[in-house]
Structure 1
Amino acid sequence: MRLWMRIAMVLGLTLAILVPLTMVRGVVQERQDYRRQVVADIARSYAGPQTFAGPVLVVPYQEVVEVEEADRAGIVRTTRKTVSRQWTFFPKTLAVEGGLKPGIRRRNLHEVRVYEWHGSAKAAFEVAIPADPGTERGRRIGQPYLSYAISDVRGLRGPTLQVGQRTLEVEQGRAPGHVGGEGLHALLPPLPPLPPGQLHRVQTELRLVLAGTERFSLVPLGDQNRFSLTSSWPHPSFDGSSPRTRMIDADGFQAGWEIPGVASNAQQRWQSAKGDLAEDAATAIDRVSVSLIDPVDVYSKTDRATKYGLLFVLLTFIGFFIFELTKSLPIHPIQYGLVGLALAMFFLLLLSLSEHFPFGWSYLGAGIACIGLITFYLSAVLRSVMRALGFAAMLSTLYAALYGLLVSEDNALVLGAGLLFVVLAALMVVTRKVDWYQLGSRPNPSPARREPILSEP
């Protein structure tokens, strides 16, 4: 077989191995989808990812306004109507703090991280009720109330609210008469108008326990916001505004935020979205979030590993090809294909084992199984145990390098680039004396008489 035909065969077999590698990646995706379903099922029975916002102080009122309307004859007339409106006041200062107590919920092979937030929200308001515009408008001020938004009130446990020196009862819904499970509200004593320059000062503190799944978020609705979160979970992931202070170690984390209202769009978005915290309605609301992540996500690591599968197969086939050139020992295409399938099988073994055992041990077990099988097979194909051990050493080095890429996410790019450079350098060193023109100008000699064709040093 001429050189170009053998090169085409190697490339064709390499591309053919993409089929089982793609199938393995499909299995990884299916398992990831199944885990997401498990998370959703547990969230439905426990509580979903939580977002806590508030309080805001709302003062409803009614007043008479003049409107122009056309009657049945088309004549425009001015009429008076009573309309309901409200003033919304955001806290001057908002301080939210508490601890996230992590836990694990298990279903089948999957573990889902849950938590209970034992927190408090302290807010200070300065409220100025505008003076009545006149008796002709007949403004009537209703009873003010505090409103808190919670994305999933099923996780709420024992809230207590103190306003000044009084303890008030909290009720379901973000507003009086609101029956949806979107938050809490509490009715306040009436706030009469004050002379110009004077303000109602209201101090509030809500204490509660809020259970949720995997992610917890806070919305900076105050003019000045201070948030503080602690937890014994050692692997947090922060989203939104970065913490001003943070400390993460094996015992957990502590994080603090200081966010001025002018640096956030939360108040404007709250007004436009009417306090809706649903993900599809308020994705643009500024919030700070912390997720309790799993640093050993077997599915993401296995998916990343399969991306290097083609490189493993290609390097192994190139090794076979170089071996044929230098040792005059032909290797049949079926033998290429069986070794390629064994390499692809590594990733399926890794996925299946890592669902039951720690990822490191699963990687070691899958690597030993596949390298051992390939070494046993190549000892017969290459007619030498030492030659097979040489290929085993090469594969072991590649697997060790891949493991380093998987466990070092921050340095994955530089390590991957370095690995590719070393592999290319090794190929160039090994083939630097091959005379490709002479080798491709005539058919390969028979296996019994074939000799490597090298250029003179």
Structure 2
Amino acid sequence: MNKNLTIKLGAIALLILLLLIPLMMIDGVIDDRQQLRDGVLQDIARSSSYNQQVSGPVMVVPYRRVMHNWKINDKNKRYDDPWEERGRLYFLPERFELDGQVQTELRARGIYEARLFHAENRINGQFSLPAQLGIKEDFADYQFDAPFLAVGISDIRGIENALKLELDGQRLDFVPGTQVGWLGEGVRVTLPLLDTSKATELAFGFDLRLQGTGALQVLPVGKSSSVSITANWPHPSFVGNFLPAKREINDAGFSADWQTTFFSTNMQDAMSRCVSNNDCEAFNARSFGVSFIDPVDQYLKSDRAIKYALLFIVLTFAGFFLFEVLKSLAVHPVQYALVGVALAFFYLLLLSLSEHIGFALAYLLSASGCVLLIGFYVCHVLRSVRHGLSFSAGLAALYGLLYGLLSAEDYALLMGSLLLFGLLGVFMVLTRKLDWYGIGQKSAKPLEFDIGAVQ
């Protein structure tokens, strides 16, 4: 390879490395804007309500137990010095059902928007309490206080209605606080005293209107749990340890149904470990639900796009170089640099426009602006409108392929591999008869500008 060609390729490689500097700066701007957006969303959630998780209901039965302490007095007679133990019994529902109807709305602060949800939940179920509450010891030593039903709600600021429990024809008022540390925040309702001498069935139901930001999750506390959620959000992201057994998603929204049992959740054992060992992580982690956050926002798409920036610059410079060697044109490194800077500015335009008009339209306008600017410039650099338009068409096709890569994430690797292989094939076909040793041995012929093809 001759010296001129080596110098030219070295200059192009150096330009590519230098263009990484503005690209990294733009990537930093994307991260900064995303963090700023996240901070604004947290502020909006702080002034309304955060993610919501419904945990419960759990029935709590406080008890006092007489503990016998037999001793021997000075007269060698045995006597009882009893003391009282206080504790609680916890029961999960035999059946738990939640039917949620969710509507979402946007709250804006400046150019940023947060998506809030309002969930109309109907919760029904049944408790099956065994005779003597399952106590195997001397039942006469136990005294029971009034039981209560506790429902954990992760952010009680989101409760939008006065909660009333329907229990066997009675309507009982909830009060704030669960009084159960491992349930966290929430509400509770005091129940009538139980007839503990026999097995008891208690059917319950209540309405819970809940506002939140981000995600709505449910802890399947029932021996059998059934959860149904419908919403007007067409981009649900199902989260948690269990996926819906059935779901339907369309442009108007989605509906999803979950079914679990104690066999799949092992919830009773997890609650026992939580109560006895204060190890509640496994209990709280068995939740599931749906996130109402856009899974792929403009910042994530912009970040994905800039990851292909180096590939774009290399392919554009390769096309430039191909015209140069095939048509014996002299393209100065400064002209390479200007085209490279225009390509880098595409990502800055894309980021700034997408914050105001959406990613798709921002991509169209940014790509169109860059193609027109580079096309106009290349027409003069290559001294031919036809060659300039051909170059612009190829660049527009690259932008179209990039948008396809960003939209079809699952097929990005396949599409990218086929693209590179196809471009390599085109380059090899066009240069199959090129005398690489002869490039640069004679000076490039300056061609007059015309609107036709260069022969």
Q: TM-score range by the shorter chain?
A: 0.7 to 0.9
**Paired residue for 1:242?**
243
Instruction: Please give the alpha-carbon distance, in whole angstroms, between the structure 2 residues aligned to 1:449 and 1:294.
Output: 53
Instruction: Please give the alpha-carbon distance, in whole angstroms, between the structure 2 residues aligned to 1:323 and 1:348.
Output: 28
**Paired residue for 2:166?**
162
**Paired residue for 1:191?**
194
**Paired residue for 2:259?**
258
Give the direction of change, closer, same or farther, for the CA distance of 1:199–1:304 in structure 2 (3 Å limit): same
1:336-347, aligned counterparts within 5 Å?
336-347=336-347
Q: Is the 8 A contact 2:61 2:144 kept in 1?
A: yes
Instruction: Please give the alpha-carbon distance, in whole angstroms, between the structure 1 residues aligned to 2:293 and 2:48.
Output: 18
**Which 10-residue stretch deviates more, 234-243 or 86-95?**
234-243
Give the direction of change, closer, same or farther, for the CA distance of 1:27–1:270 in structure 2 (3 Å limit): farther
Instruction: Please give the alpha-carbon distance, in whole angstroms, between the structure 2 residues aligned to 1:56 and 1:243.
Output: 24
Matched, 1:328 2:328: yes
Q: Is the 8 A contact 1:119 1:207 kept in 2?
A: yes
Q: Deviations over 1:380-426 (max 9, x none)?
A: 22222222222111110000111122223343333223222222222
Amino acid at match of 1:37: G
Amino acid at match of 1:53: S
Q: Is the 8 A contact 1:55 1:123 kept in 2?
A: no
Q: Deviations over 1:279-321 (max 9, x none)?
A: x966961111111233662111111111111111000111122
Instruction: Please give the alpha-carbon distance, in whole angstroms, between the structure 2 residues aligned to 1:66 and 1:314.
Output: 85
Structure 1-normalised TM-score?
0.87
**Which 10-residue stretch deviates more, 56-65 or 339-348?**
56-65
Give the direction of change, closer, same or farther, for the CA distance of 1:165–1:435 in structure 2 (3 Å limit): same
Q: For residue 2 of structure 1, give the secondary structure of its aligned residue in structure 2.
A: helix
**Paired residue for 1:32?**
34
Gaps of 5+ in 2: 71-79, 448-455
Q: Is the 8 A contact 1:218 1:288 kept in 2?
A: yes
Amino acid at match of 2:371: I
Give the direction of change, closer, same or farther, for the CA distance of 1:272–1:24 in structure 2 (3 Å limit): farther
- Work out the percentage of aligned pairs sharing the same amino acid: 39
Amino acid at match of 2:8: R
**Paired residue for 2:409?**
409
Instruction: Please give the alpha-carbon distance, in whole angstroms, between the structure 2 residues aligned to 1:187 and 1:65.
Output: 27
Q: For residue 125 of structure 1, give the secondary structure of its aligned residue in structure 2.
A: strand
Instruction: Please give the alpha-carbon distance, in whole angstroms, between the structure 1 residues aligned to 2:446 and 2:365.
Output: 42
**Paired residue for 1:434?**
434
Instruction: Please give the alpha-carbon distance, in whole angstroms, between the structure 2 residues aligned to 1:273 and 1:130.
Output: 19
* Corresponding pairs, count: 428
Q: For residue 157 of structure 1, give the secondary structure of its aligned residue in structure 2.
A: coil
**Paired residue for 1:447?**
444
Amino acid at match of 1:117: A
Residue 337 of structure 1 deviates from its aligned partner by 1.2
Residue number among 130, 134, 137 corresponding to 1:133 in the alignment:
137
Q: For residue 355 of structure 1, give the secondary structure of its aligned residue in structure 2.
A: helix
Amino acid at match of 1:445: K
Gaps of 5+ in 1: 69-77, 451-457
Q: Is the 8 A contact 2:237 2:295 kept in 1?
A: no
Amino acid at match of 1:93: R
Q: Is the 8 A contact 2:329 2:446 kept in 1?
A: no
Q: For residue 53 of structure 2, give the secondary structure of its aligned residue in structure 1.
A: strand
Q: Is the 8 A contact 2:159 2:209 kept in 1?
A: yes
Structure 2-normalised TM-score?
0.87
Residue 15 of structure 1 deviates from its aligned partner by 2.0
Q: For residue 395 of structure 2, give the secondary structure of its aligned residue in structure 1.
A: helix
1:6-155, aligned counterparts within 5 Å?
6-65=8-67, 81-128=83-130, 129-131=133-135, 133-134=137-138, 138-155=141-158
Residue 449 of structure 1 deviates from its aligned partner by 9.7
Q: Is the 8 A contact 1:266 1:285 kept in 2?
A: no
**Which 10-residue stretch deviates more, 104-113 or 324-333?**
324-333
Amino acid at match of 1:298: Q
Q: For residue 356 of structure 2, give the secondary structure of its aligned residue in structure 1.
A: coil
**Which 10-residue stretch deviates more, 379-388 or 223-232?**
379-388
Q: Is the 8 A contact 1:214 1:291 kept in 2?
A: yes
Instruction: Please give the alpha-carbon distance, in whole angstroms, between the structure 2 residues aligned to 1:109 and 1:238.
Output: 27
1:380-395, aligned counterparts within 5 Å?
380-395=380-395
Give the direction of change, closer, same or farther, for the CA distance of 1:271–1:114 in structure 2 (3 Å limit): farther
Q: Is the 8 A contact 1:161 1:206 kept in 2?
A: yes
Q: Deviations over 1:206-254 (max 9, x none)?
A: 2110000121101111110100011122221112312111111122111
Alignment root-mean-square deviation, CA: 2.7
Give the direction of change, closer, same or farther, for the CA distance of 1:293–1:131 in structure 2 (3 Å limit): closer
